[in-house]
Chain A
Amino acid sequence: MSVNRMFRTCPSSGLVFHEPAEKLMRWNAVAAAVSLLIGGLLAIGVVLTRWQAVHLLPADRFYQFLTAHGLNMLVFWIIFFEIAVLYFASSTLLKARLATPGMAWAGFWLMVLGALVNNYSVFRGDSSVMFTSYAPMGAHPTFYLGLILFAVGALIACFVFFGTLMVAKAERTYHGSVPLVTFGAITAAIIAVFTIASGAIILIPTFLWSVGLVEHIDSLMYKTVWWAFGHSSQQINVAAHVAVWYAVAAIVFGAKPLSEKVSRGAFLLYILFLQLASAHHLLTDPGLTSHWKIFNTSYAMYLAVLASMVHGLTVPGAIEVAQRAKGYTHGLFEWLRKAPWGNPVFSSMFMSLIGFGFLGGISGVMMGTEQLNLIIHNTIYVPGHFHATVVVGTTLAFMGLTYFLIPVLFRREVAFPTLAKWQPYVFGLAMMGVSLFLMGAGTLGVPRRHWDIGFAGNAFGYEFPGAAWLMMALAGIAGLVAIVGGGMYLLITVWSVFLGKKITTPGFQHVRARDGIAPSPQPVAAAIAAHHPSAGAGGLVAPGTFALAMVFLVSFVLYYFINWKYLSTVWPLK
């Protein structure tokens, strides 16, 4: 047997790491951080150009930066990190060896190669086709090739994840059902398989078209299948960051889910319905019927939204119950006031939850309504919405998890602890600002992906109201602060991982799998991986969360109807 079977038990958390899995998690996390760095540097150019008073870049550079920003952030940063999460949720939480580490490395290097090739094509300058690369707008063949290589690598990683589940089952490293966090990761991996398959269906022909082997790509067909990939990949993020929320609630508070049954049921709703909402990207396209649009975006999507609301309630609910059990029982909100706001693991996760729900969730449901979509379609409202979901929601949750992983996975102390304490606030609050200001500007009609809303030298100009210009300026300022927050994260993580103080444990050694795994009495491992009977039986156990939920619902309903009112003023029906 090879050396592939070594385990180590983390002395501070009790988590069990399989050596090859651990190494893969580290490398994936590092690749993710590099992508975030590139995407963040490009964001400076993007945001300073859209701030109309600064208008930094010339048009071609702007579109090039925007293309690379979208890809490095939304594809490379997020998916590299997600692969690390998948390995953590399978190998570590199930205490199982990682299936086929060799394949996992092949997948990793394919992803790295794909990311490099794709970035190469964009930096060549002839592939500024935006993240969506709508045909018949064509990019250099390496653009599609890079994405295909990356996707194949990610698909291999998903299969390694499923293989690890089988290994764990066969070697009986757990009993009963998998932990809830692992179940969330299964949800993410399932959605990922569909996402990548759809990507292959559309990107392979498009690649062949770019090298001249296929004659024609139908633009509506492209858009429809592309969004099965483009939208579903956002749902991998949702499932993954929700799993991270549950993990952080367990890590920081030892919180038990209010009801595992309900939480798992909500993940099942994700598996069944979340991906159908891809249709909201085609709400204004002629050629597809309203039956198809409304079935997929309303009926099906509301079931997925229901699931998100379940998660959004049961996570803080579980935290509230755990805090009340510790004696924080005064009033509705003592549990929340006395939460560890100085711990970046917690503060990131909680802001992620609030930002995702209030900003991303409410705006998403509004946009996903066929009629209301007309108000904001292709405006900068859309980036406003998804910077709330994918940046405040997913990115911030992943940042929080990183602060937990630095000591546990990398065995280093977190460098600059005071900076780390502030980082989630700088990044999170500024990003919420970016989202709100972009949504504000979008409501006033400012288009997305638009180099110059001043229309200088244009025969057909349009005068946007002063408020729109102001919103774009505010988004620019908030964006710069957010970029500083992202820089703080990278400084802290890179410094900790490469130069930080090593955590050493006397008597520490790896054990071979067949000698068994050291028992882990430590609370963290037990809290993330254990099963719990429902805590929510009988009575209102989490009144504070209930109150928050009511605030949420009222905001939701008000905002939804305000937009119908607004729509009625857009249509000149008198």
Chain B
Amino acid sequence: MSQLGRVKQWNTFARCWHLFDAAWQNPLECSPTIEKYLKGLNKPIYHPLVDCGDHVVVINSKQIAFPGEEWRRRAYFHHTGYSGGATWTPAWELHDRDPTMIFRKAVYHHMKGNLFRRVVMERLHIFSDSNVPEEVMENITNQIPPLRSIPKTLSSYSKEEIEKYPKIIDYPEDFILSKN
């Protein structure tokens, strides 16, 4: 067996740990990618009854992004079981209470439902910020690339960079510039 093939085999049979930065990522878009690593769908030995999935550590889950008015319009349903116990919580309100729940629900609901799903979900570790315990961080060997580029704010550019950027329009004649 070649050297590369041997490493590939180690990676296949070992339980790897992957890091995923959720800042500015849509949880509904990344759940297929996360599921692929959690279940081990990318491995050649994959079978529904083979327990070959990896661990995924998701950081910055408080900074997830939704498109348009999704924060207001998206509702999460819960029923206590008693009559009149139904509640519909907007996504932003749920995110106020628990910043990891929307991401966990997105991954959980994307997976096909059977009892094995609970076992797979145990391998998903979500942290609302980048403070990850040392015993988790030391296992990580791979980082999953972000699906959506993080937008740059205007304050992240330097003043010279903004001034030297090509200008499309000029001020008209007799335009009064404000002081700041």
Interaction A to B: no
B interface residue numbers (CB < 8 A to A): none
A interface residue numbers (CB < 8 A to B): none
